[in-house]
């Protein structure tokens, strides 16, 4: 295991901000992840697990501990029947490569999550989702190193306590588990409507009425390319704000004041409001503050245009949150995680 020192975290986050990690190492197997963690704890060092760095922010002071970057590979069919195929995927696999491979196998369930940057192991952490699909819908179980018990564990779907962009891994068990693999059960049926509104509109506009896994993947990739900047070209961390969840009574008030507002009803009766719509209607789309630009094609995205540090991003973030709160009395929340002890 090669442990390096004083590694700039801005080189490993797509927002390209952040100071140095005191120690940095790659884990290519569950055993390596365990050994690295044990060694760090013996030295009384904090540990942070890094995937692709696409939904992650690093602060200017860096991280005074060990950052373990997951590089565990693997893609294995572990069960196959008339209706489904179950696959086990290493935590270090690139997520979009996993989607591409399952689509080539004519499997349904994650095709609408195409072109999401990051690794497979990070997907359950915030219950990654897009265009009507979430990882919670196909994840059967995952394997992880339980740092609390110093043992490997298998967590079932229900153990993860998934909700909108949330799980135990960014909730009350944050930092306890190091995910080493995920197991997904995918369908052999063709994708079927109703599809997410944006996706359906694209399909209709392009006269696509025969739906395959590949046509949905191609459509999503095209939509995302038009709305989301490529993080390898333009520094950003994807959707910076979660969509807002509000009570039904508050939704009715907003409809009265803003008749064109878009909302989506959730299973529990609450309403999901697109935070990008709120930011745009607050007049912030395309604006620049502290070197951070609200992306002109998608107000959910913040672009690092000329920020010199995390403090610039934080200042811009708070200005946006304040303006939306003052305009709509809705508090929007940051989606990316932050590297902290």
Residue 167 a catalytic site member: no
Decide if domain 3-70 falls under CATH 3.30.43.10: yes
Instruction: Assess whether the region 3-70 and the region 236-338 belong to the same CATH fold.
Output: no
Residue 335 a catalytic site member: yes
Say how many Å lie between the first and final Cα of the chain, rounded.
22
Averaged pLDDT, 67-95: 98
| Active-site residue (options: 54, 141, 239, 275) | 239
With 90 as the cut, is the pLDDT of residue 223 above it? yes
pLDDT of the residue at 117? 92
Q: What is the dihedral of CA 7, 63, 52, 305, to 10 degrees?
A: -80
The class of domain 75-187 in CATH terms is: alpha beta
Q: What is the pLDDT of residues 19-55, one digit of tens each?
A: 999 999 999 999 999 999 999 999 999 999 999 999 8
Q: What is the pLDDT of residues 118-132, one digit of tens each?
A: 999 999 999 999 999
The class of domain 236-338 in CATH terms is: alpha beta
How many Å apart are CA 307 and CA 289, to the nearest integer? 9
pLDDT of the residue at 266? 87
On average, the pLDDT of the chain sits at: 96
Query: Between the CA of residue 202 and those of 78, 108, 216, what are the distances in Å?
Result: 35, 19, 10
How much of the chain, in percent, has pLDDT values that exceed 70?
100
In DSSP terms, 156 is beta-bridged to: 141
| Active-site residue (options: 165, 217, 293, 317) | 165
Residue 147 pLDDT class (50, 70, 90 cuts): very high
User: pTM, whole model, 2 decimals?
Assistant: 0.91
pLDDT of the residue at 128? 94
CA atoms within 13 A on the CB side of 88: 14
- Of 172, 170, 169, the closest CA to residue 144 belongs to 169
pLDDT of the residue at 139? 98
Averaged pLDDT, 153-160: 98
pLDDT of the residue at 239? 92
With 90 as the cut, is the pLDDT of residue 340 above it? no
DSSP strand pairing (129-130 vs 133-134) = antiparallel
Q: What is the pLDDT of residues 305-322, one digit of tens each?
A: 999 999 999 999 999 999
With 80 as the cut, is the pLDDT of residue 137 above it? yes
Residue 239 a catalytic site member: yes
Residue 1 pLDDT class (50, 70, 90 cuts): confident
Q: What is the pLDDT of residues 193-211, one digit of tens each?
A: 999 999 999 999 999 999 9
Q: What does the domain layout of the chain look like in residue ranges? A: 3-70, 75-187, 236-338
With 80 as the cut, is the pLDDT of residue 262 above it? yes
* Structural contact between residues 217 and 195, judged by C-beta atoms closer than 8 angstroms: no
pLDDT of the residue at 26? 98
């Amino acid at each position: 295991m090669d442990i390096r020192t004083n590694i700039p975290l801005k080189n490993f986050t797509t927002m390209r901000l952040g100071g140095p990690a005191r120690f940095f190492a790659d884990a290519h197997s569950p055993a390596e992840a365990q050994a690295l963690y044990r060694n760090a704890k013996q030295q009384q060092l904090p540990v942070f697990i890094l995937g692709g760095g696409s939904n992650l922010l690093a602060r200017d002071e860096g991280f005074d501990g060990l950052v373990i970057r997951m590089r565990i590979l693997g893609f294995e069919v572990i069960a196959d029947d008339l209706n489904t195929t179950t696959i086990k995927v290493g935590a270090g696999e690139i997520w979009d490569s996993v989607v591409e491979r399952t689509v080539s196998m004519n499997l349904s369930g994650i095709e609408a999550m195409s072109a999401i940057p990051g690794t497979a192991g990070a997907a359950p952490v915030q219950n990654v989702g897009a265009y009507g699909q979430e990882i919670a819908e196909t994840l059967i179980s995952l394997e992880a190193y339980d740092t609390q018990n110093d043992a490997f564990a298998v967590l079932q779907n229900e153990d993860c306590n998934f909700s909108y962009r949330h799980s135990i891994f960014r909730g009350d068990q944050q930092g306890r588990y190091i995910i080493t693999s995920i197991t997904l059960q995918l369908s052999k049926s063709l994708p079927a409507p109703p599809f997410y509104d944006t996706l359906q509109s694209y399909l209709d506009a392009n006269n696509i009425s025969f739906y395959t896994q590949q046509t949905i993947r191609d459509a999503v990739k095209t939509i995302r390319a038009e709305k989301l900047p490529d993080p390898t070209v333009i520094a950003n961390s994807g959707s910076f704000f979660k969509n807002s969840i509000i009570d039904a009574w508050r939704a009715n008030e907003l409809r009265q004041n803003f008749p064109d507002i878009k909302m989506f009803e959730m299973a529990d009766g609450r309403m999901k409001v697109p935070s990008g719509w709120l930011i745009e209607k607050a007049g912030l789309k395309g604006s620049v503050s502290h070197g951070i630009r609200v992306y002109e094609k998608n107000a959910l995205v913040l672009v690092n245009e000329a920020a010199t540090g995390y403090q610039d991003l934080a200042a811009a973030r708070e200005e946006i949150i304040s303006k939306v709160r003052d305009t709509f009395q809705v508090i929007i929340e940051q989606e990316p995680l932050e590297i902290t002890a």
